[in-house]
Structure formats: C-alpha cells, structure tokens
Amino acid sequence: MDLRYTPKQAAFRAEVRAWMQAHVPKQRLKSYDTREGFEEHRQWERVLNSGRFGMVTWPEAMGGRGADLIEWLIFEEEYYRAGAPGRVNQNGIFLLGPTLMEYGTAAQKARFLPRMAAGDEIWAQGWSEPGAGSDMAAIRTKAIRDGDHYVINGQKTWSTRAAFADWCFGLFRTDPESTRHHGMSFILLPLDTPGITRRPIPQLDGEPGFAELFFDDVRVPVENRLGDEGQGWSIAMATAGFERGLMLRSPARFQETAKRLVQLYRRHEARVAPGVRDQVLKAWMDAEAYALNTYMTASRLIAGGKIGQEASLNKIFWSELDRSMHETALSILGARGELLASGVDEAGEITRWLKGFLFSLAGPIYAGANEIQRNIIAERLLNLPR
C-alpha cells in the first residue's frame, strides 16, 4: 500500500488541470435535455476529444490514452474540480464503449468507437419496456431475422437521451419462441431508421431526458448485432455492471457535491439548526468513503483482481448518498429551496441544488432499482436463498 501519487500520476493530473482550465466553458451550458443544450454538449464532447480527453481509458488507437483506472480517477477528479459539463454521451462512452471493447468485432470497434469518442454519434439506451422494468427478462420487443436484416417491432421506454440522440443500443428478442433470459440479442441501431417513432417524456424538471421508442417494421442490418445471436442477456448484464459499477458514477462527482454542500452550510451556518451540521459531515464522510472504496477496487483490479459484487454495493451507496446530500442542501436553503428560476439566484446555485435533487430521486431507480441490488447482495454475497 502506498497512498502517494507517482510523479507520472501527478504530471497527468497537472496536464488535465491545465487543459481543463483552458477549455472548460466559462458559462454553464444549457441542459442537455433540451435540443439546444444537447448540441452545446455535443460540441463539448468534440472539444474533449480534440485533447484526447474523451475517454482516457480507451486505447490510443481509439482516441484514448490507454490510462489505467487510477489515472481515470485522477481525470475525473480534475474534470469535476473544473466544473466541466455533464457527459451527454455517457450511455456511449461509459456503457456501450466498454461493452464494445469486450464483445465487438474489430470492424464494429473501428466503426463505432472513434465516432463515439468524437461526439459525432451520441447514444441512447434501449433496455426497459412498458412491461419490463426491474424485470428486464420480460422484454418482448422482437427482432426477427429476414435475410441479412432484423425486423424490429415493439416498444422501448425510459430510453435515456433518446429524445435527441443519434443511435440506440438495446436488448431485443431475436427468438420469438424464447422466454425470460434466453433468445435475446444486443443490437445497435440509428434512431433515424424508418419506422422508429420517438415520443419524448418530460422528467420531473419538465425536460425530456428520456423518450419512448416505437418500432414499426424497423430494418436493421445483421452486422449491427453485438456478440452472438441469443447472447444478448449476458452482454447486457456486463453492460449493466459497467453502469452500476465503477464507470458511470465516479467518486469525484459526489466529492465535489459534498464540497459544495460544505460551502453552502458555512454560508448559512448562523441560521440553520444544529443537527444539520451532522448531516453535512455525514455527506462528506460518505463521499470520501465512496472514493476510498473506489481507489481500493481500482488498485485491486490493476493488480489483476476480478470485479465481484462491487457494482451492486456501489450503486446503492452512491444513489442514496446523492439523494441525501441534495436533501440536506435543500433543508439548508429552507424556503428558498423551491426556486426553480429567479433573479435572486443569480449564480443559479439554488436551481442547481433543486435540479440536482430532482435528478437524485432517479438514482435509486435507474441502472437496476436498489431493491434489485439488495437482492443481488443478499443472494450472491450473503448466500441467502432465492
């Protein structure tokens, strides 16, 4: 154990810090759940890619830097420290990207990864259906083979970023006779394919962060299938692992929120009730614990260890931490915490907490509801019977 950064790691941090200082937009971008904001964020992805900072863990040939997990954590720390914009392509770079690296053919990697890194293709995900939420094995949307194409019919919902995204990946039933986890395939498709209808769904904040997708005889070439036909479930589980685990929610995000919460508390300390202090400290400790835990996992994986049930443990922890931090912030703001937009909130700080609170409510639901994660922990870690 050595809790010091190496000179190489320190130099990498300095490089990221300097680059971010020079490139992070001075003005906060509009929400990527608006058309205008979506394009602003796409532009930011292009800027990131120009510095080869789109996805530092990717191989250099794919536009990355071949960074290890510790360097990735350093990158994320500097990214959030700089207040850089959210990643509109997170479905692509954090979820599909690692999945493609593991299951994609050489041609698929060459076709999709560079454009993903460049922000030219922004990805939505297509998991859930009206009858398949937490029970994802209940998926019914069919992709029936017709020569060198699949013909897709059915409906997806809660497709994150699908209101404005270019492409979608998802799980489709390629064997119409199959049930449950069998007979599904992982398919990638452009959202402008004829036969696809998108219906954006406004979230709690009123913006269309996700959409319903209707498929009516949508023809997709067979080469857009990732992995073997019928292998979809196991690939999707790997993707879900990336989603719940290390990649989707890096610790820096919560540490920066905790830092803002401490600053907020200190500005209002004189008028808040004494018990609020303990909630602020709890937020700080939990954000720190999540970071330490992630560094430990990263160190273990770099040394050749295998990922275990960390994904489920992490997902519960960060989602509940995020919610409780925002609840604490709103309790500090008191009656002003209801301001969605106002002249008295010039820096947009109140709105930011409020919007963050609304979003934090989704955390325990998406990426596999926390009840599902608790079942996984109980059954696989504690060996309780199913």
Partner 1 sequence: MNFAFTEDQLLFRDTVRDFLAAECGPAELRAAAAGTGRSAARWQKLADMGLTGLTVAEARGGLGLGLLDYVLIAEETGRVALPEPLIDQIGIAAPVLADFAARADVAAVLSGLAAGTCKVAAGHPDDPFVADAGEADFLLLGRDGVLHLVPRDRVVLTPETSVDPLRRIAAVDWAAGNETRLSGETGILDRFRDLGALAAAAQGLGLAQAMVDLAADYARTRQQFGKPIGTFQAVKHHLATVQVAIEFARAPVYKAAATQHPRDISHARIAVVDAAAAAARTAIQVFGAMGYTYEVDLHFFMKRAWALAGVWGDRHYHLDRLSRMVLSDDAAIGADGTFQDR
Which amino acids are annotated catalytic? 243
Question: Residue 90 CB, nearest distance to partner 1 (Å)?
Answer: 18
Single out the residue of 317, 353, 357, 366 in contact with partner 1 (rule: CB under 8 A). 317
Single out the residue of 43, 231, 234, 299 in contact with partner 1 (rule: CB under 8 A). 299
Single out the residue of 136, 143, 171, 313 in contact with partner 1 (rule: CB under 8 A). 313
Query: How would you write 133-174 as a 3-class SS string?
Result: CCCHHHCCCEEEEECCEEEEEEEEEEEECCCCCCEEEEEEEC
Of 219 and 259, nearer to partner 1 (C-beta) is: 259
- Residues near 232 by beta carbon (within 8 Å), at least 6 away in sequence: 171, 172, 174, 184, 185, 186, 187
Single out the residue of 150, 186, 265, 357 in contact with partner 1 (rule: CB under 8 A). 265
2 touches partner 1 (CB under 8 A) = yes
Q: Which stretch binds partner 1 (CB under 8 A): 35-43, 102-110, 164-172, 274-282?
A: 274-282
**Which H helix or E strand runs over 189?**
strand 184-190
Single out the residue of 80, 127, 172, 357 in contact with partner 1 (rule: CB under 8 A). 80
377 touches partner 1 (CB under 8 A) = yes
Rounded distance, CA 113 to CA 196, Å?
24
246 touches partner 1 (CB under 8 A) = no
Single out the residue of 137, 292, 307, 340 in contact with partner 1 (rule: CB under 8 A). 292
Residue 213: strand, helix, or coil:
strand
Single out the residue of 91, 128, 160, 373 in contact with partner 1 (rule: CB under 8 A). 373
Single out the residue of 135, 216, 278, 338 in contact with partner 1 (rule: CB under 8 A). 278
Rounded distance, CA 87 to CA 100, Å?
19
Cα 100 to Cα 163, 188, 249, distances in angstroms: 23, 11, 19
**Six token digits for residue 358:** 């609304």
Burial of residue 224 (number of CB atoms within 10 Å: 0-12, 13-18, 19+): buried
Sign of the CA dihedral running 331, 332, 337, 341:
negative
Closest CA to 98 of 20, 182, 169, 192: 169
- Residues near 340 by beta carbon (within 8 Å), at least 6 away in sequence: 205, 351, 354, 355
135 touches partner 1 (CB under 8 A) = no
Closest CA to 92 of 78, 80, 107, 104: 104
Question: Residue 157 CB, nearest distance to partner 1 (Å)?
Answer: 25
Of 17 and 111, nearer to partner 1 (C-beta) is: 17
Strand 184-190 to 167-173 pairing: antiparallel
259 touches partner 1 (CB under 8 A) = yes
Of 81 and 142, nearer to partner 1 (C-beta) is: 81
Q: How many residues sit close enough to partner 1 to count as binding (CB under 8 A)? A: 60
Of 231 and 299, nearer to partner 1 (C-beta) is: 299
Residues between 81 and 100 that touch partner 1 (CB under 8 A): 81
3 touches partner 1 (CB under 8 A) = yes
268 touches partner 1 (CB under 8 A) = no
**Binding site residues, partner 1, CB under 8 A:** 1-6, 9, 13, 70, 76-78, 80-81, 251-252, 255-256, 258-259, 262, 265-266, 269, 277-278, 280-281, 284-286, 288-293, 295-296, 298-300, 302-303, 313, 316-317, 371, 373-375, 377-379, 381-386
